[in-house]
Structure 1
C-alpha cells in the first residue's frame, strides 16, 4: 500500500536563483563570459599542446589533460545554466540530473589526483633535471593517468550503487545544477550509508592528494634554496607558480565545500547563497581561470602561440 502512494520523480525543479530574480541578467552575463573564456582558453591550450612539438613533454601532456577535463566540466553544466536563466522554474530530467552529477563527480576526483601528479612532475623537473625524461617516461605518465581515471571511476561507481531510489514526489532542488548532497536530501529512503560514504570519500579524495602536493612543494622549496643562481630561482618559480595558483583556487573552494561541518536547516534541503557561490567557483570559475593562469604566466605556451601566429601569417 505504501509503495502505491509514492509519486515517481521524473524531473527536478532547480530554484537556485528564485530568491534573486533581479540578479538573473547579471548572472547570465557572468556565466556567458566564463563559458566563452573557458571553452576558448582550454581549447587553445589543447590545440597548442598538440600542434607544437616543443610542448610534447610530460608537463604539457598533463596540462592538456587538465584542459580537457575543464572543457568537459564546463560543457557538463554551464550551457543548461545559461538556458535556465530565462526560465521561471527551470527543470532537469531525472536521467540528465544523474548524468550531470556523476560526470561532474568523476571529473572532480580525476582533477584532484591530476594536480598531485602535476606537482610530482614539477618536482622531477626541478630536483632531478638530468634524469627528468627517465623518471617521467611516457609509459609512466600514461600509467599515472590510467590509475587516476580508474580510481575516480571506482569512487563514482560506488556512489551510483549507493544511490537512493525512492523520492516520494520531492523534486525541488535549491541549486543551479544537480549536486550529490542535494540529491540525497530529496530522497525519502534511508540515505545514511550514502551520506557516510560521501563524507568519508571526500576525505579520501581530497586529503591524500593535497598532502602529496604540500610535501612535494616543501621538497621543491628546499631544493630551490640550494640553487645559488638568480636565473635558477626564476626558472623554478616560473615552473611552479602557475600550478600553485591553480591548486590554491581548486583545492581551496573544494575543501570549503566538502570538508566544512554539516549544518542543518529548517527546510532540510535549502542551500545558503554562500554554498551556491562556492559551487560556482569550482564548477565555473576554476575552468575559466586555469587556461588564463597557464597561458599568461607560461613562457612556453606564449612562445608556442606566437610561433603558430607567425607560421600562419607566413603561409
Structure 2
C-alpha cells in the first residue's frame, strides 16, 4: 500500500475545468511560475507566488489547487486538507480534489474518510482510474486492519495470518503501479505514503449491533431532512442552519464559523435554488444517532447535479439535528 501511494503525481484531466469562474488569463502566469519553482524544489518561493495570486483573486480555483499541492510538499497536511476540502465544496463535480483529500486522510490513518472521499470522486467521474486504484489500496488497508483485530482476539488463527500475509504482499517494490495526489502540473513526487495495514492499531472493543428503527423515528428524521432541503431551496439560511446541531463539525478540518460563512455566501449568491432529497434510506448508527442516505437533486440558475448525500442526525430532546454531512 505505501509503495503504491508514493511515487506518481497524475496530470489532472479536468485542469481546464478548475478554471471555471476564475480569471484564467491572470492566473496562468502565476500558476506556471509556481509550477516551475516547485519543479526546482523551491517550495517556499512557489507558495509565495501562488499566495500572491490568491490575494488579488481569492477564488482562483487553479491557484488554490496548486497551493494545496505545495502545502503537501511542505508537509503542512492540515492546511492542505482544508484547501482541497474547500475545493470539493466549491467544485463538487471535479474528482481531483476528492482524490487528494483521500491520500491525505489515508496518510493520517483515517481510512474511512479516505474511502468516502474516493467514492465521492468516482460518483462524479466513474472512469477516474487513479481514484479506482487508490480506493483498492484503501480497501486493502481496511482489510489489513480488520485482520489485525481478528488476530489480536485469536492469536492461534492461522487462516487470518495467511490473509494478512497476502495483504502484505500487495506492498512490494516491483508492483510497478502507484497512485498519489492528482496534479494539474508535471511536477513529480508525492506526499508521504500510506502506512501498511500491519501498522493499524487493533480495536480495543468490538461494536455491538445498533437497535432497529421504529416507524415514528423514521418519520421524524425524514421530516428534518425535508425541512433542511426546503430551507435551502427557499434560501432561508436561518432555518437551514437551525437543522444543524451545535456540535456539528464540517468535513475537511474547516471551522464551523468558516463553513457557515461559506454556506451563507453560496446560498445567497444563487438567484434560484431547488433541492430535493430523493429516496431517503434511514439506518441507526448508534443509540441516539441515525444516518439518512438519499439522492440529492440540486438545481440552481447556474448549476445542477445529482449526488449521493448522507446526513447523520442525533436526537436532541424530541427533535433530531444534523451532526455530520458528507457526499459520495
TM-score over 0.5 for the alignment?
A: no
Give the TM-score, by structure 2 length: 0.24
Give the TM-score, by structure 1 length: 0.25
More helix by share: 1
More strand by share: 2
